[in-house]
Structure 1
Amino acid sequence: MRVLLVSQYFWPETFGINALARSLQERGLHITVLTGKPNYPEGHIFKEYSAWGVQREQHMGVEIIRLPLVARGVLSPGRLVLNYLSFIASGTVIAPWLLRDRRFDVVFVYAPSPLLQALPAVFLAWLKRAPLAVWVQDLWPESLSATGFIKNRMALGLVARVVRFIYRHTDRVLVPSEAFRAPILALTNGTANIHYYPNAWVEEAVSEAPVDVDSLVNDIASGFSIVFAGNLGAAQSLDTILDAAERLQNAKSHARFFLIGSGSLSNWLSDEIQRRNLRNVTLPGRFPPAAMPRLYEAASALLVSLRNEPIFSYTIPSKVQGYLSAGRPVVASLNGEGARVVTEAGAGIACAAGDAQALAEAVQVLTQMDSSSRTKMGENARRYALAHFSLDRLASDLVGQFEELVATHAIQNQEKSR
Structure 2
Amino acid sequence: MKILIVTQYFFPENFKSNDLAFELQKRGHEVTVLTGIPNYPEGKIFEGYGIFKSRSQVMKGVKVKRAFLIPRGNGGGVRLLINYYSFALFASIKAFFMGLNKKYDAIIVHEPSPIMQYYPAYLLNKIWKTPVYFWVMDLWPESLAVAGGISNKFVLSYFTRVVVKFYTNAEKILITSKGFRESINNKGNFNEKIVYFPNWAEDSISEGNKDFPLPELPIGFKVMFAGNIGEAQDLDSIMQAALQLRSDKNIKFVIVGDGRKMSFVKSFIAENDLSETVFLLGRYPVEAMSSFFEKADVMLVTLKNDPIFNLTVPAKLQAYMSASKPIIGMLNGEGAANILEANCGFTVSAGDYDSLAKTIIKISKLSEDVLEELGNSSRLYYERNFRLSNCISNLELILQQNQQNL
Closer/same/farther in 2, CA of residues 360 and 253 from structure 1, 3 Å limit: farther
Please tell me whether the aligned partners of residues 45 and 71 of structure 1 are also in contact (alpha carbons under 8 angstroms): yes
**Residue in structure 1 matched with residue 164 of structure 2 by the alignment:** 164
- Residue 200 of structure 2: aligned partner: 200
- Distance (Å, rounded) in 2 between the aligned partners of 1:40 and 1:390: 26
- Unaligned 5+ runs, structure 1: 410-418
Q: In structure 1, what is the equivalent of residue 2 of structure 2?
A: 2
Q: Note if contact 1:53-1:68 (Cα within 8 Å) is conserved in structure 2.
A: no
Report if aligned partners of 2:58, 2:64 keep a CA contact under 8 Å in 1. Answer: yes
Tell me how far apart the structure 2 counterparts of residues 254 and 329 of structure 1 sit (CA, whole Å). 18
| 8 Å contact kept, 2:39–2:72 | yes
Matching residue of 1:364: 361
- Counterparts of 1:398 and 1:133, CA distance in 2: 10
> Paired residues, what number?
403
Q: Match for residue 297 of structure 2? A: 300
Question: What does the per-residue CA deviation read over 1:341-364, in whole Å, with 9 as the maximum and x for residues that have no partner?
Answer: 011001111111111111111211
Partner Cα distance (1:208, 1:7) in 2 = 30
Distance 2:211 2:110 in 1: 27
Question: In terms of mean alpha carbon deviation, does 148-157 or 172-181 score higher?
Answer: 148-157
How big is the alpha-carbon RMSD for the aligned residues of Structure 1 and Structure 2?
1.7
The aligned residue for residue 251 of structure 2 is: 255
The one-letter code matched in structure 2 to 1:267 is: S
Shift of 1:87: 0.9
- Give 1:408 shift: 1.8
Structure 1 contact 296–326 (Cα < 8 Å) conserved: yes
> Which residue, 217, 229, 236 being the options, matches 1:232?
229
Counterpart CA distance in 2 for 1:294 and 1:148 is 33
Q: Unmatched 5+ residue regions in structure 2?
A: none
Deviates more, 1:118-127 or 1:290-299: 118-127
What letter is aligned with 1:104?
Y
C-alpha displacement of 1:266: 1.8
The answer (yes or no) to whether the contact 1:168–1:192 under 8 Å persists in 2 is no
Contact kept? 1:54, 1:68, Cα under 8 Å: no
Match of 2:267 among 256, 271, 284: 271
2:316 aligned to which of 291, 300, 319 = 319
Give the distance between the partners of 2:211 and 2:74, measured in 1 at CA: 26
The alpha-carbon deviation at position 190 of structure 1 amounts to 4.1
Q: Which amino acid aligns with 1:355?
A: D
CA contact (8 A) 1:167 1:192 kept: no
Q: Tell me the SS of whatever aligns to 1:151.
A: coil
Question: In the alignment, what sits opposite 2:332?
Answer: 335
Q: Which residue of 2 aligns with 1:415?
A: none
CA distance in 1, matches of 2:354, 2:90: 47
Amino acid at match of 2:63: E
> 1:74–1:264: 8 Å Cα contact kept in structure 2?
no
Cα separation, 1, equivalents of 2:53 and 2:292:
38
Q: Is the 8 A contact 2:203 2:388 kept in 1?
A: no
Name the counterpart of 1:413: none
Check if 1:27 corresponds to 2:27: yes
Letter in 2 for 1:278: L
Distance in 1, matches of 2:128 and 2:211, equals 41
Give the alignment of 1:28-43 within 5 angstroms: 28-43=28-43
Q: Secondary structure at the match of 2:245?
A: helix
Contact 2:210 2:290 (C-alpha < 8 Å) held by counterparts? no
Letter paired with 2:196: Y
**Paired residues of 1:168 and 1:191 also in contact (CA < 8 A):** no
Which residue matches 1:101? 101
Deviation at 1:107, TM superposition (A): 0.6
SS of 1:235's equivalent in the other structure is coil
- Measured against aligned partners, the alpha-carbon deviations of 1:288-316 in whole angstroms (never above 9, x if no partner) come to 01100110011001111111111101010
Q: Percent sequence identity over matched residues?
A: 36
Q: Quote how far apart the aligned CAs of 1:202 are.
A: 2.0
Q: Distance in 2 between matches of 1:330 and 1:105?
A: 41
**Would you say the 8 A contact 2:201–2:386 is kept in 1?**
yes
Counterpart contact for 2:209–2:291, Cα < 8 Å = no
| In 1, Cα distance between equivalents of 2:184 and 2:274 | 42
Quick check: 2:209–2:290 contact (8 Å CA) kept in 1? no
Q: Are 1:408 and 2:405 matched, yes or no?
A: yes
Aligned to 2:133: 133
TM-score for the superposition, normalised by structure 1? 0.93
> Cα deviation per residue 1:248-283 (whole Å; 9 max; x = unaligned)?
114x25211111111112222212211221121111
Q: CA deviation at 1:99?
A: 3.7
Matches of 2:152 and 2:23, distance apart in 1? 41
8 Å CA contact 1:9–1:36 kept in 2: the answer is yes
SS at match of 2:134: strand
The separation in 2 between residues aligned to 1:351 and 1:208, in whole angstroms, is: 30
The alignment status of 1:79 with 2:76, answered yes or no, reads no
Query: 1:43 Cα deviation (Å)?
Result: 1.3
2:303 and 2:331 in contact (8 A); partners too:
yes
Partner residue of 1:412? none
Mapped partners of 2:145, 2:319: distance in 1 = 28
Q: Aligned partners of 1:25, 1:82: CA distance in 2, in Å?
A: 32
Kept in 1, the 8 Å contact 2:210–2:294? The answer is: no
- 1:404 is matched by which residue type in structure 2? Q
CA contact (8 A) 2:221 2:297 kept: yes
State the secondary structure of the residue aligned to 1:234.
coil
